[in-house]
Structure 1
Amino acid sequence: MNYNIRGENLEVTPAIREYVEKKVGKLEKYFDTTPIADVNVNLQVHNNQQSIEVTIPMPQLLLRAEDTHNDLYAAIDLVVEKLERQIRKYKTKVNRKFRQEGSLKYMFTNDIETVEEDEDELEVVRTKRFNLKPMDAEEAILQMDMLGHSFFVFSNSINGDTNVVYRRKDGRYGLIEPE
């Protein structure tokens, strides 16, 4: 795996780099062969909070996790635990759904324990229906804020597409639109 480690408001020292590579490198044990992938690690410091975000794009699989803690090394440990849970969950899902040769099932080693998911975990517990009012993104953000929601689905008045505006963790807004 190729590591791309970046620091925001933080200098990535050789000790931090080595710790990240050692911890994230342990994920290789979950695969039959060492995955050829770029590991993108973003380390941040905001108000004495240490944040880490790890993204590992692979063919047919995207692993991504982030965590925040007062201690950078603890945040690294927590994010690796999240990635391990994701891998076990993917393996369980793959074992259930894909039994044919060449599927993702054969990407993982068989030594991993699988996670028994609660059947309720993937259950839709509420369905909501509403009319999509044509509006622009600014009006949709105002509607979202008025309702106190973290996202809002609307019909874009310019092109007629269904779009979503959402509040990001940094307090700013994002727009999701189809390609």
Structure 2
Amino acid sequence: MNVHITHKQLELTDSITAYVKQRAEKLPKYWSRVTRADVDMEKRGGHTYWVEFIVHAEGHDPFVSHHKHDDLYACIDEAASRAERQLRDHHAKLTHH
């Protein structure tokens, strides 16, 4: 799976990149048709971070989740958790219908 990370007004370190890729690479576990994840990170205002996951899957519109928080890693976790939930719910809807 491809993971594309963009950032704005924040320094992208190796540890942040590794953490985002680690969280994004878990997404195909919830639905096997996931092909790509675009992660947008931005520092807004003084100490607020904003993270958005856009998950692309075959035969479906992109799944979008975002979150803002004072801690960047907590923000990444919450946005990834929301994307996982969307994929899990969609897969359950398809298999139980």
TM-score by length of 1: 0.49
Report SS of the residue matched to 1:6. Answer: strand
Partner of 2:41: 43
CA shift at 1:11, angstroms?
A: 1.7
Q: Larger strand proportion, structure 1 or 2?
A: 2
Runs of 4+ aligned residues of structure 1 deviating over 3 Å after TM superposition are: none
CA 1:55–1:30 in structure 2 vs 1: closer, same or farther (change >3 Å)? same
Deviation at 1:92, TM superposition (A): 2.2
Question: Unmatched 5+ residue regions in structure 1?
Answer: 98-179
Aligned to 1:52: 51
| Structural mapping, 1:28-177, within 5 Å | 28-32=28-32, 35=34, 37-47=35-45, 48-61=47-60, 62-97=62-97
Higher helix fraction (1 or 2): 2
User: Which secondary structure does the structure 2 equivalent of 1:64 belong to?
Assistant: strand
The letter for the 1-side match of 2:78 is L
SS in 1 for 2:49: strand
| Percent of pairs with identical residues | 28
Name the structure, 1 or 2, with higher relative contact order (CA <8 Å, separation 6+): 2
Q: Which amino acid aligns with 2:58?
A: P
C-alpha spacing 1:27/1:38, structure 2 compared with 1 (3 Å): closer
Separation (CA, whole Å) in 2 of partners of 1:88 and 1:56: 13
**Between Structure 1 and Structure 2, how many residues are aligned?**
95
Q: Does the aligned pair in 1 maintain the 2:31–2:91 contact within 8 Å?
A: no
Q: Is the 8 A contact 2:55 2:83 kept in 1?
A: no
* Secondary structure class of the residue paired with 1:93: helix
Structure 2 alignment gaps of length 5 or more: none
Q: Is the 8 A contact 1:5 1:12 kept in 2?
A: no
- TM-score w.r.t. the length of structure 2 is 0.86
Structure with the greater alpha carbon radius of gyration:
1
